[in-house]
Amino acid sequence: MATTSQQALDAEKLFDEINFSYKVAFRDNPTLQKVFQEALEDPGNARASILDVGCGTGGPVSSTLVAAGHDVTDIDVWQVMNGLCGKNIREKFLKADTTTFEPEKRFDAIFAIFSLLQMPYRTVYSTIFKFASWLKPGGTLILGTVPSDDLVVDKRLLDTSGEFIDGIDVRFMDDMIKCTFGTPNGWKRLVEAVGFEIMRMEHSSFKAKVPASYSQQHLFLTCMLGAKNSLMGPYPLPSTYCLPFMLSDEAWRPFQERLTRFEFEAVMKAVEDNVEILDVGSGYGDLPKAIAQKLGKSYAIEPNPDRMQVIENRNTDLGVQIKQGRAEALPYSDDSFDAVVAMWILHYVSDVEKALEEMVRVANRKAANARIVIVRGAPDNELVNLINNICAPIAALDAKENYVSHQGFLLTTATRIFSKNGFGDISLERVHAHCNFPETDFTLRCSKAAEILSEFWYRDHPRLEQMRTALLPALEKHFEDSPFKIGDQAVMLVAKPTPSLDLVTV
């Protein structure tokens, strides 16, 4: 079982204790064998590179795959399994948690057979997106799970979508464990939201050998990674973006003080060879300050006069050249910079396409290291999803406007605008960040998180208190699994000039 960091020790202890009985109980599963057979019969899968997530003792998944001649990498959190799987299968075994695992290569196929059950739903959601980034284009994902429609009697336990139930206590062999279950349609919608195409779905009943009374309903999905980039999801994309959010310094400052940001270092790495760099929407000026410390100069645009003053006061002698202006009308001539950066600003602009076109206009495509760098939220960004799922519907009660901030829509729009204007060499990279809530008192921690999240985009909204109250149950559940932080996962898009001999000068 591959699970979350908080749950890993409990899962490891449980399965170390039952590993032998588990292997006996689940070794003869005819539907699982059928799924294997269909996957192995694919002529494109000869000597495939395969990741087995939650490999256990190595059987039946890894043992079947190795016997068929495939190159198998096994990951699991079980300590006992480390020795057993290596001994039984003699393949590469890594004691790893999917939330922190970073593979050294991409795989032709990923098998996750009953290994997502003990994860909270938000981690299941994130893990499926990660699976897409771990696969080669056109790669195969095979999921095995227990569907909720055969287990859940009280439909009130389902989430707002009616498709998943998160963290319910169920009997697993002779133990009670917390599990997350989804309906077949819920799983279908989830994998399609990531960009997978479902090739086959198998729904079957299974009776374990031990204990004799133990039986389960099983659901197996065989999915192919399509042409859609998972980091631009979830799919389907909306046809338009929501209204711009109001930027409040009073709401931003307490949030910013709690941030642990790694996208900052990623951006600095992305522009390490550039010399004329513009930061659009500089906030308190951390990025232009770091650039100026390295190059002796940098350029910053900030619409907020109070923030402009902060930047000027902090960077008097560093060479930061700051102007007041908007992203939709940058006060610079064409081709002024070899790099333009915009971190987390597109949801504040009134015209997203115009802002992106302005970035293209001031970026010099003919510069040797020309690039535009955008940072947006990842599709599994926990903070954005909490606000979208809980606050946005409340905000929409008084208007017919869309308040859901779809980060993938912004990345897709940026890709389209950049490619149309000669910056078509696009790459996307996942970057980690999180917001810290170190309060030792659980009630205070949840209350403070509800305050910060609700005010982040809705500080002056008339239903602010309703949002804050609605956030509390979700935050209590979140902090049970991830005690002191909320993920602010990001995607960094780097757009370079479309390769062409007549564009780049020496």
Per-residue pLDDT tens over the stretch 193-217: 999 999 999 888 877 665 555 677 8
Q: Residue 173 — φ and ψ, nearest 5°?
A: 55, -115
pLDDT digits (tens, 9 = 90+) for 329-384: 999 999 999 999 999 999 999 999 999 999 999 999 999 999 999 999 999 999 99
pTM: 0.88
Q: Parallel, antiparallel, or unpaired for β 175-182 and 164-172?
A: antiparallel
Which pair of structure tokens corresponds to residue 110? Answer: 């990923």
Complete edge-to-edge strand list for the sheet that includes strand 135-145: 92-95, 71-76, 49-53, 107-113, 135-145, 215-225, 196-207
Range with lowest mean pLDDT among 86-90, 238-242, 385-389, 428-432: 86-90
36-44: Cβ within 8 A, 24+ apart:
36/60, 36/61, 36/64, 36/65, 38/200, 38/222, 39/109, 39/140, 39/142, 39/222, 40/64, 40/65, 40/68, 42/140
Task: Give the CATH number of domain 249-281+327-496; options: 3.30.450, 3.40.50, 1.10.238, 3.90.550.
Answer: 3.40.50
Band (173; pLDDT cuts 50, 70, 90): low
* Angstrom distance (rounded) from CA 474 to CA 390: 9
Residue 371: its H or E element: strand 371-377
Position with higher pLDDT, 17 vs 302: 302
SS3 504: coil
List all residues 6 or more positions away from 407 whose beta carbon is below 8 Å from its beta carbon. Answer: 376, 377, 378, 379, 381, 384, 491
Q: Where in the chain is the domain with CATH 3.40.50.150?
A: 5-228
**At 308, is the secondary structure helix, strand, or coil?**
helix
The three-state DSSP-derived secondary structure of 3-65 is CCHHHHHHHHHHHHHHHHHHHHHHCCCHHHHHHHHHHHCCHHHCCCEEEEECCCCCCCHHHHH
* Topology classification of domain 5-228: Rossmann fold (3.40.50)
Please say whether the beta carbons of 193 and 167 come within 8 A.
no
**Strand ranges (E), 86-153:** 92-95, 107-113, 135-145
Beta bridge partners of 196: 225
Token pair recorded at residue 256: 């910013």
Q: Would you place residue 322 in the very low, low, confident or very high pLDDT band (cuts 50, 70, 90)?
A: confident
Q: Which of 9-18, 128-137, 250-259 has the lowest mean pLDDT?
A: 9-18
Strands 215-225 and 196-207, bridge-based pairing: antiparallel
pLDDT value at residue 97: 79
Q: Alpha helices, DSSP H only, in 136-206?
A: 184-194
- Average pLDDT on 5-20 reads 50
What amino acid occupies position 251?
A
How many whole angstroms separate alpha carbon 407 and alpha carbon 414?
A: 11
What kind and span of H or E run contains 309? helix 305-314
Whether omega for the bond prior to residue 30 falls within 30 degrees of 0, making it cis, is no
Query: Does 139 or 67 have the greater pLDDT score?
Result: 139
b/e code 367-404 from CB counts within 10 Å (16+ = b): bebbbbbbbbbbbbbbbbbbbbbbbbebbeeeeeebbb
Which stretches within 374-488 are classed as H helix? 382-386, 392-395, 407-420, 442-458, 464-481
Say what the pLDDT of residue 499 is. 87
- Region 442-450 average pLDDT: 98
Place of tokens 């804050």: 468
**pLDDT over 80 (residue 506):** no
Helices (H), 195-285: 249-256, 263-270
Residue 183 CB contacts under 8 Å (≥ 6 apart), including other chains: 147, 148, 149, 162, 163, 164
At 449 the three-state DSSP class reads helix
Predicted confidence at residue 14, as pLDDT, reads 52
